[in-house]
Structure 1
Amino acid sequence: MKAILFFPLLLMASFGFSQTTVNGKVVDQNEQPVPGANIVIDGKAIGTTTDFDGNFILETSEVPPFQLNITSIGYTEGKEEVTETGVTLTIVLNETQTFLDEVVISASRTPERIFESPVSVERFGLKEIKTTSSESFYSGLQNLKGVDVNTNSLTFQSINTRGFATFANNRFMQLVDGMDNSAPGLNFVLGNLVGMSELEVKSVEILPGASSALYGAGAFNGILFMTSKDPWNYQGISTYLKGGATSQDAAGTNGYYDFGIRAAHAFSDKFAAKVNFSILRGEDWHANNDIDLLNPGRTRIDPAYDGLNIYGDEVSTTLDFDDLAVPDLPDGTTQALPSGTIGSALVSRTGYDEADLLDYGAESVKFDGALHFRPFADDFEIVYQARVGRGNTIYQGANRYSIQDFIMQQHKLEIRNDNFFLRGYLTAENSGNSYDTRFAAINVNRRWKRDAPNPDDASEPSWFGDYARTFIGAKLGVVTPANPTGIQLDDATAHAAARQAADSGRLIPGTPAFENALTNVITDGNLTTGAKFIDNTKVRHVDANYNFSHLTQDFAEIQVGGSFREYVLNSTGTIFTDVDKPIVYGEYGAYAQLQKKFFEERLKFTGSVRYDKNEFFDGFLSPRGSLVYTLGEKKNHNIRGSIQQGFRNPTTQDLFIGLNAGRAILVGSAPNNPDRYTSSPILLSTKGRVLTGQSSVILTGRDAYENAYSQSSVEAKNPTTVNTPFVKPEEITAYEVGYRAQLGKVAIDLSGYYNAYKNFISNTTVVVPLYGEAGDGGLSLLALKNGDFQAFQTYTNSLADINSYGATIGIDAKILGNFDIGGSYTFSELDFNQAAFPDFRTSFNTPKHKFKASFGNTDLFKNFGFNINYRWSDTYLWQATFADGDIPAYGVLDAQINYSVPSIKSVFKLGGSNLTGHEYFSAVGTGNIGSLYYLSWAINP
């Protein structure tokens, strides 16, 4: 509706009365036009921007004389005096020598050159967006040094720096125009699925490493800042259309398109507005790995087979065939056989391929709009902004989730000027028709035939009952439909006959019966019978900052700020333990920073400290101190060093999750959460029923934390009890040193870091006996022996000493006149004694060695440019709740050529990602990443 109302406004005449008109053109030192340059009246928030040909018209009520400030990314700042109305100006901007001249804000919350930044920072600006060889600017971020991008699906990429990455990457923060872009219930960023349109992005900054001192608990591993174009300086209508194809062995060749449009207009020097819309559709990467990770030699003919991308076969049980030889056998057997007659076996149900359970159509639809009001026609501004995104994608967490019609919206009201801002925003998500593919398979199977025999109705068919009955008959030589000859079968043949008999009448993918059952399951939010997850969680956030530099600049630059956040968890019990009502809790923080220069401004000190308090934990101080010293007669070398303490609060899921994920039940450890969770009835084995006189039991989350054995000890057949402490904030002490140099047209950026962690937040898997007390030496051990136990995943802190360290070097240069060439190498290492803590998984998930290179020219000849990117990753271990395994080394080549047609204000680009066609993957369980080819047409980009 906002878009519908806004478009007519774009057609209205400006209602401001202009007294002065300035015409002009902005060119570079080679007399080539500079599109998108900002022209602003000095000391005023009044300005315009150049068009595709570098031309501009500035209409203002200001009366000459006044000065214009002209800026554009990649160029030095220009200034021009206007002494009369109606003048026509030609303004020349000189290209900056290196990327170190570019200005960033994130490192210190104040503008400064990358060269002067006290910490490492990466920047992706308008030039990089235009020349990226990737299909999107967001995908192009993976070519920045020190940046890791794990591809979850076509529309969901997870960015991280300095290790400990998962797709639920809650150690890394993403801010879009100052708003945390994390989905509040999922508690992590879904890439750019519901983020920002390519036409709207002004710049992207990535701050690697801990930044808690300025940005709070979420800024633990790094932050990505996306800043949009404002409607004052970036006016007009622009659009793009990309079309192409994806290619993958598992999926074949499929169409891909991406369309976006932006409209912005300043109606006067007091009011401006903008809207954006974009839509992307394509075929997601199919996941079809059928390996059994726990037992790689197993195939589908093995009774306990559990395929990686096959779901439903996680439901398994140990069948004691001697004990199950019951009176209804055709030969009249009336009692259990002596132990060892037939034996026992672990048997799993027959599962379904992932492709049978979800639609691989990927989609991202984004809309945003903003109203900007400057009541005094100066830098004081009031902004209302709304962002709404809807998407279909695949998320891999504990299971593989089909994210369908997921919606996230953000609404922000901000008051600001050059010295302060006060903003409040609301983030709300709606999970739409999303569901868990593993539980979809499990419950489709159960809708057709229950797992175990019904203790109250022995005549009701059950899958394991049918399997056991057929297997026993086959081994005893009993004449049955599965063994009409009545001969005694070998184990493999007997198991095959038993599975065939148990699967008789099974729902077949593609049939109406299967599709009807699947539809019923994925629309049912009860995971005992369905697969849908429901999430309408919200976050309310307020933050403010005041920069006193205009008052204290003779002494130092000083700024202060603070924030408050309230979570409202609302999953109706499908994710969190909020069955009865939403869970509400909050946190707040405040910070201060001082910057001062010494020794003829060669030494810059930055000191900051932040205090944060979550209602469940004690308050925490995050101090940071840094020094930057500039060397050389031309001040073209500097060295820097910083030390910071930071922390990370447990996430909403660490605290309040209560979810049966199939292989384990996940229970968070907020002070009252273990008591809030109660399981569905868990059926006991036959022996368990005899021992206890019960057919099922109900467990609580408290059992997981106080009545359990460690999983590793049970697997080692030496059960050891474990009491798991509740989770508390994770802490880090981060050290960084670096060196930067500007050597003519060569820029060097070198950094090294060492991170020491304390109270590292971790998951441990424990085993709860269904009867007896852990450590009783008797009944609970019988429960383990009989298979009567339940696995839980708990949330706690590791006692281990965990450290990580690494280094990055990047070199960028201009050669042979106007060619851009660059390369970077990143080293990352984990320091952790796994043998001393066998139950702890760090999920470091980062290659030890990475190399990246780029080569291009924005103006190889008139209106023609190109860019080539190559990146190589070493092999590494991937650990996550879905699956663990090794990621093979891989190399990826991306390239693009572009041609500008100024007469129609257009840029055409032809490019592709992974041009060599060698498929790879960055996490175990995802689809292999194939190639993507595209042709794009951008008008007035």
Structure 2
Amino acid sequence: MKTTISILLLFFCGMLYSQTTFSGTVTDDSGQPLPGANIIIVGTSIGTVTDFDGKFSLTVSQSPPFTIQASSVGFESYLEQITSNNQTINFVLKEGTSLDEVVISASRTPERIFESPVTVERFGLKDIKNTASSDFYGGLENLKGVDINTNSLTFKSINTRGFAAFGNNRFMQLVDGMDNAAPALNFPLGNLLGMIETDVQSVELLPGAASALYGANAFNGILFMQSKNPFDFTGISAYIKQGITSQEAAGNNQYTDFGIRAAHKFSNKFAAKVNFGYLKGTDWFATDYNDKDKTGGTRATNVNYDGVNIYGDNVTTNINDVALTLVNLGILPAGANALVPAVAVSRTGYAERDLTDYNAESVKADWGLYYRPWENDFEIAYVGKVGTGSTIYQGAQRYRIDGFSVQQHKLEIKNQNFFLRGYVTSDKAGDTYVMDVAGPNILAVWKPHETWFGEYTGAYVQATLGGATDAQAHEIARQTAETGRLEPGTQAFQNAFDKVTNDTSFLTGSKIKDNSKIYHADANYNFSHLTDVAEIQVGGSYRKYNLNSFGTIYADAENTIPYSEIGIYTQVQKTILENLKLTGSLRYDKSELFDGFFSPRISAGYTIEKNHNIRASYQTGFRNPNTQDLYIGLVTGLGTLIGGANDIGNRFIRNYSVSQFAQNNLGQPNSVTQPGSAAYNNSMAATIATGLATHNPADNGSEFIGNPNYVKPEQVKSFEVGYRGKVNKVIIDFSAYYNTYKDFIANESVVATYYGNNANFDLTGYDPQIPTSVAGLNQDTQLILAALSNNDFARYQTYTNSKTEVNSYGSAIAINTKILGGFDLGANYTYSNFDFDKEANPNFRPSFNTAEHKVKATFGNTELFKNFGFNLAWRWSDTYFWESSFGDGQIPSYHVVDAQINYRIPDLKSSFKLGATNLLGDDYATAFGTGNIGSMYYISWTINNL
């Protein structure tokens, strides 16, 4: 027993003896401390970071001598030898350049941005702290080649290289390797449910196609956000921002943003962290009351007015048809229809501000447990994220996102040579509803559309018989039909609003219900530590969707919809002739719904005299149709949005009532059952159908048949060249690209008749002026014409591919330097354009939605005088035309200035910032139909942000 105790004591003493403690400080060459600088033992992942005062201390099991390295973003790294216990090391780091920054996204391996084979934009800790925007996410807008479309106060959509949309499913956003797109929506909700500012370590943005490494949907760009690891960044940090938003339409409203991060390294084996963020404000009011259909006028002057942000006035009908029906029913006297003009009249809708409270809110939390069993870089981590929020989203309609929630759970195993991760993403729609569906249905709760138009038409006839002019008759008719209207603010209106927004049928309600999930796994292994021949990587991914909207969004009323995708890839990277870096990548992806795709990428980077690098690349990419493109089955009062999956007919089936005319004269049953596949195999273009129904065909023959194809993936071929370099003190980054798109996913409106086979449709010999000429047509053609004339058809918006080939091209240049000793000056210019054969494809809508010219500039100094800094950011966007299924319109050019001043108090481990966005106070818009963006004025206090 004594012997055992002696051995244990000797062993314990040996352990004590083998421990080495060292400490010190890290400052820049002006003597200012560098908080958050990394201190690591070279050859290991063991290390720490400096605190707010630039101080560090670390105890390790290694015995001297060994080497440690100090590094910080934007500074040159430095090495020191530890030769004894309790040694003090004081690092002084010289400021480097942006060319020295390390990125991972371009090649899935750490490399200097200077040597990246493709264009990469990086937003590091220094940029995050000094941004003049109200948050780090908005600060990305100052990068070259980047557009941020502001949907609402808390929902911003990033776009690169054109074809912008708020539901931007051509752009991917990864947070710590997890795709944070909501399963039901297919796109990320900006930073509404993302990271809090004090936990962001770096942001990298990769514009352009990246399918060779990241697979389907890495089509027009990827945003990578990396959080801080609790092994490296410990302690408690927090921030609070308080201020106001100011908009011409909404006035001044309070704004609060709060976040806290707590991380602790319990030992060299175990660390944990937790984050919480809360934001509350008032959204930008959308008050565009111009006529959406461009016929002009206002509600007072246009009987068929349809305001952009007025909902319900899209319910319209021809009152001459109503008059004829009323005459046939004996309600109006014979011939009264001759007094009624053949004009369309719309109902009086409700303004958007009557259908939402414009509350903008975000509540999010995440947590992580990190375990390093061997105290090296081998790490096992579990991360959980949950967020909920309220905002406004604009797609084909305006959505009130209310209580929408997303949660993610990830398990990851990794070291510096590999990673293996799996995660699940789940969403719930909460109390989300569609405002421009709610408007018409609230009107219908008060007074059915048929009743309203009947009253309008009857009153018009009576007024005309009484001697009123046309304008007077329309005014009297609207006043009559509007008698008893539900007014916002009354209990009757609120009751109707509550009824509609809690009803999931879009024929009578507007609520969205969803609980869809995505299961994802991916892996990567880098063989560079095993061979010196080249750096070789292999990897793969698997994704499974499980759509579950309970039949409210998707064609999943009977069963959930599962489908999956897999992908494998490899990359070889080799430097030859000392300064020529070659990279080749190849990926194969296969969705169970489509044939597989190969996505190659080849690139070369040539370094000249260490300060200049020229690069060129060619790559292909593809975008799988998203969940809505495939399986949407959304029934509205104006028609059905039907997905383009080839099995949609098995999942979406509806019964329709057949007109009395067809029952009495054509021998048709009183109802028919029609599958959604009818939109793809027995339909015609809606515009053609309208002409036939009014006996005014523009042509005859098979051109009238408009069966669209089932949807398939989009494809792109991308060429890019670029230059990065340093000329004296000026950093230059230039890139140019040319993309060719094929099989653009697009919408096509069609109608499918309840009877008649379109395959036999033939108008040869038909003369619309001679009714008896119909008798000479075949039976199917006669049936189809009769169906169109008697409204015996279903309207569909299909998801298909355009045959149009689209080319987009552009360039961007950024210049950064220091002037007057310590002032940072940066400027960039972006050019974007596209083309296609307009004459051959007059109906194609590319929705490029990007300004041709954009200019941005920043000017600041992090140390104007001791502990005081400032930053200014200015950007200008040229006029451009916005196209979307919601509406089209010109976006005027705009200038925006953001500014901030900051002051650090090291003794309090605090920094204070006073800032303003859109300092000029001119409201502006980045898209058609959204609220104009006003100004924000705020003051923030950040504590111990390492």
Tell me which interval the TM-score lies in, with the shorter structure as reference length: over 0.9
Whether contact under 8 Å (1:684, 1:697) holds in the other structure is no
Q: Choose the corresponding residue for 1:467, options 456, 473, 487.
A: 456
User: In the superposition, relative to structure 1, how do residues 17 and 202 fare at CA in structure 2: closer, same or farther (>3 Å)?
Assistant: farther
CA distance in 2, matches of 1:501, 1:683: 32
- Counterpart check, 1:540 vs 2:515: no
- Other-structure match for 1:730: 714
Whether contact under 8 Å (1:685, 1:786) holds in the other structure is no
Shift of 1:768: 4.0
User: In the superposition, relative to structure 1, how do residues 441 and 547 fare at CA in structure 2: closer, same or farther (>3 Å)?
Assistant: same
1:268-323 C-alpha deviation (Å, 9 max, x unpaired): 00000001001011100000111112134132133322111111122222232551
- Other-structure match for 1:874: 878
Superposition map of 1:175-574 within 5 A: 175-301=174-300, 302-319=302-319, 320-326=321-327, 334-335=333-334, 337=336, 340-452=338-450, 462-475=451-464, 477=465, 487-552=466-531, 554-574=532-552
1:856-898 C-alpha deviation (Å, 9 max, x unpaired): 1111111111111111111111111111111111111111111
- Other-structure match for 1:26: 26
With 420-429 and 754-763 compared, the bigger mean Cα shift is at 754-763
User: In the superposition, relative to structure 1, how do residues 646 and 321 fare at CA in structure 2: closer, same or farther (>3 Å)?
Assistant: closer
- Counterpart check, 1:905 vs 2:882: no
Whether contact under 8 Å (1:689, 1:695) holds in the other structure is no
- Other-structure match for 2:772: none
- Amino acid of the residue matched to residue 618 of structure 1? D
Q: Choose the corresponding residue for 1:643, options 594, 618, 622.
A: 618
1:146-198 C-alpha deviation (Å, 9 max, x unpaired): 00110100000000111111011001000000000111111011000101000
Shift of 1:789: 5.5
- Counterpart check, 1:611 vs 2:588: yes
CA distance in 2, matches of 1:139, 1:683: 53
- Amino acid of the residue matched to residue 93 of structure 2? L
User: In the superposition, relative to structure 1, how do residues 43 and 804 fare at CA in structure 2: closer, same or farther (>3 Å)?
Assistant: same
CA distance in 1, matches of 2:329, 2:646: 51
Q: Secondary structure at the match of 2:460?
A: helix
User: In the superposition, relative to structure 1, how do residues 464 and 56 fare at CA in structure 2: closer, same or farther (>3 Å)?
Assistant: same
CA distance in 2, matches of 1:179, 1:404: 24
User: In the superposition, relative to structure 1, how do residues 763 and 325 fare at CA in structure 2: closer, same or farther (>3 Å)?
Assistant: closer
CA distance in 1, matches of 2:710, 2:902: 56
Q: Secondary structure at the match of 1:834?
A: coil
CA distance in 2, matches of 1:291, 1:400: 16
- Other-structure match for 1:883: 887
State the identity %.
57
User: In the superposition, relative to structure 1, how do residues 786 and 876 fare at CA in structure 2: closer, same or farther (>3 Å)?
Assistant: farther
Superposition map of 1:2-17 within 5 A: none
User: In the superposition, relative to structure 1, how do residues 198 and 747 fare at CA in structure 2: closer, same or farther (>3 Å)?
Assistant: same
Shift of 1:780: 3.9
Q: Secondary structure at the match of 1:273?
A: strand
- Amino acid of the residue matched to residue 523 of structure 1? N
CA distance in 2, matches of 1:328, 1:648: 54
1:307-355 C-alpha deviation (Å, 9 max, x unpaired): 11111122222232551343887xx855454x64433331222211111
User: In the superposition, relative to structure 1, how do residues 289 and 682 fare at CA in structure 2: closer, same or farther (>3 Å)?
Assistant: farther
CA distance in 1, matches of 2:811, 2:657: 50
Q: Secondary structure at the match of 2:216?
A: coil
- Amino acid of the residue matched to residue 291 of structure 1? N
Whether contact under 8 Å (1:172, 1:218) holds in the other structure is yes
User: In the superposition, relative to structure 1, how do residues 493 and 568 fare at CA in structure 2: closer, same or farther (>3 Å)?
Assistant: same
- Other-structure match for 2:652: 677
- Other-structure match for 2:575: 597
1:779-829 C-alpha deviation (Å, 9 max, x unpaired): 544655666665422111111121111111111111111111111111111
- Other-structure match for 1:837: 841
Whether contact under 8 Å (1:321, 1:344) holds in the other structure is no
- Other-structure match for 1:811: 815
Q: Secondary structure at the match of 2:369?
A: strand
- Amino acid of the residue matched to residue 859 of structure 1? E
With 896-905 and 837-846 compared, the bigger mean Cα shift is at 837-846
- Other-structure match for 2:683: 708
Q: Secondary structure at the match of 1:438?
A: helix
With 439-448 and 141-150 compared, the bigger mean Cα shift is at 439-448
- Other-structure match for 1:83: 83
CA distance in 1, matches of 2:585, 2:501: 49
- Other-structure match for 2:553: 575
- Counterpart check, 1:718 vs 2:693: no
- Other-structure match for 1:70: 70
Shift of 1:663: 4.3
CA RMSD of aligned residues (A): 2.3
User: In the superposition, relative to structure 1, how do residues 467 and 322 fare at CA in structure 2: closer, same or farther (>3 Å)?
Assistant: closer
CA distance in 2, matches of 1:920, 1:315: 30
1:703-751 C-alpha deviation (Å, 9 max, x unpaired): 3223333245567863732110111111111100111111232111111
Shift of 1:493: 1.7
CA distance in 2, matches of 1:658, 1:153: 27
Whether contact under 8 Å (1:466, 1:501) holds in the other structure is yes
- Other-structure match for 1:137: 136
CA distance in 2, matches of 1:847, 1:688: 55
Shift of 1:446: 1.5
- Other-structure match for 2:12: none
- Other-structure match for 2:55: 55
CA distance in 1, matches of 2:637, 2:99: 50
Q: Choose the corresponding residue for 1:926, options 910, 930, 933.
A: 930
Q: Choose the corresponding residue for 1:624, options 598, 601, 606.
A: 601
CA distance in 1, matches of 2:665, 2:353: 42
Q: Choose the corresponding residue for 1:584, options 562, 565, 573.
A: 562
1:95-129 C-alpha deviation (Å, 9 max, x unpaired): 10x21211100000011111100000000000000
CA distance in 2, matches of 1:18, 1:714: 86
CA distance in 2, matches of 1:132, 1:121: 19
Task: Structure 2 unaligned segments of length 5 or more: list them.
Answer: 1-15, 692-696, 764-781
